Copies of this chain bind each other. A is one copy, B any other.
């Protein structure tokens, strides 16, 4: 690991503060860490010296001594460079950040992949994240947007790094805890809403099959149909992804296959917007001819033309629970292994 040369101008150390305050290092340490076993007098002297010298504890040294870093990592494991195009990530990052701010911990956000060009199989990036975490730079990690059979949670667990997953893993044998939203229930709600509105030929724009959330939403769609007494209909399901392009593509597929289509449940709001565009391109009106329901309750759903009915995920809650679970693990307290949070339908137009 080649390191650039220039060192930092030396910052004041505990030692120097001790000398300035006329006490020992231990006393300074006690004051700085907030121990009560210090005389008021000593404390005052130390505090004065700290302020005067502009002392800030060196984290590396503290971390080396305590074997803790006071830091947790939020890892967004998104190999396509689309991380923040997804409104969902934006929300969860904010929610987690906000929850962490209420603790003594510091949050670092690790983006898993940057340029797939450079690193087609993701292995180098995988190693980076893994090395960073196993190298002891964080006390624990929140893992988001796991795809397929990503070995990261397994490996971190093997290394003893506490981990909580945002979203249920594909392999439900994994010995890690997770928090998820009720994707299945949400999609069921959305589909039922369309069916109850009198739509006869409701299809699904499915997300990437290697992601659990996408699969759960598709399952919800199927259940709602079944519950309404409708037969299985694979031709009403088109695979896309969570992006606008993916949604548009799936929409075109569906339109070609099912001329009678009068409603679709999309994998995400972005996909729903893509569907809107695909429909406009062939002159189908929304919602008169075809109703479209999104998933995420993001800004794009609210500002779409027409505004989209969509499924709201309790993102703030999710962020809170993720942090809560990880903190409990770090503190050695018991906590639920799995948490599923309810979703709800946000109705924006009457179809």
A288 CB–B CB distance under 8 Å: no
Which 9 A-B pairs rank lowest in CB-CB distance, beginning with the nearest? Answer: A84-B90, A109-B109, A98-B114, A101-B114, A4-B331, A9-B160, A108-B108, A60-B63, A6-B332
Contact B134 A11 (CB under 8 A): yes
Contact with B along A84-104 (1 / 0, CB 8 A): 110001110110011111101
Which of chain A's residues 78-136 have a Cβ closer than 8 Å to chain B? 81, 83-85, 89-91, 93-94, 97-102, 104, 106-111, 114-115, 118-119, 125, 128, 131-132, 134-136
A193 CB–B CB distance under 8 Å: no
A7 CB–B CB distance under 8 Å: yes
State how many residues of chain A have any CB contact under 8 Å with chain B: 77
Contact A64 B67 (CB under 8 A): no
Assembly CA distance A56 to B132 (angstroms):
9
For residue A4, give the distance in angstroms from its CB to the closest CB of chain B. Answer: 4
In the complex, what residues of B have CB within 8 A of residue A255's CB? none
Contact A58 B104 (CB under 8 A): no
A5 CB–B CB distance under 8 Å: yes
A350 CB–B CB distance under 8 Å: no
A195 CB–B CB distance under 8 Å: no
| Complex: chain B residue closest to A331, CB-CB | B4
For residue A94, give the distance in angstroms from its CB to the closest CB of chain B. Answer: 6
In the complex, what residues of B have CB within 8 A of residue A94's CB? 81, 83-84, 111, 114
Assembly CA distance A63 to B300 (angstroms):
44
A3 CB–B CB distance under 8 Å: yes
Contact A109 B106 (CB under 8 A): no
Q: 17 other contacts beyond A7-B68, A84-B84, A109-B111, with CB at 8 A cut-off? A: A3-B66, A4-B68, A8-B67, A9-B160, A11-B159, A57-B135, A60-B60, A61-B64, A81-B94, A83-B94, A84-B93, A97-B111, A98-B115, A101-B119, A106-B132, A107-B110, A305-B305
Assembly CA distance A118 to B98 (angstroms):
10
Contact A56 B135 (CB under 8 A): yes
For residue A46, give the distance in angstroms from its CB to the closest CB of chain B. Answer: 15
For residue A240, give the distance in angstroms from its CB to the closest CB of chain B. Answer: 16
For residue A92, give the distance in angstroms from its CB to the closest CB of chain B. Answer: 10
Which of chain A's residues 306-334 have a Cβ closer than 8 Å to chain B? 327, 329-332
Contact A3 B64 (CB under 8 A): no
For residue A347, give the distance in angstroms from its CB to the closest CB of chain B. Answer: 20
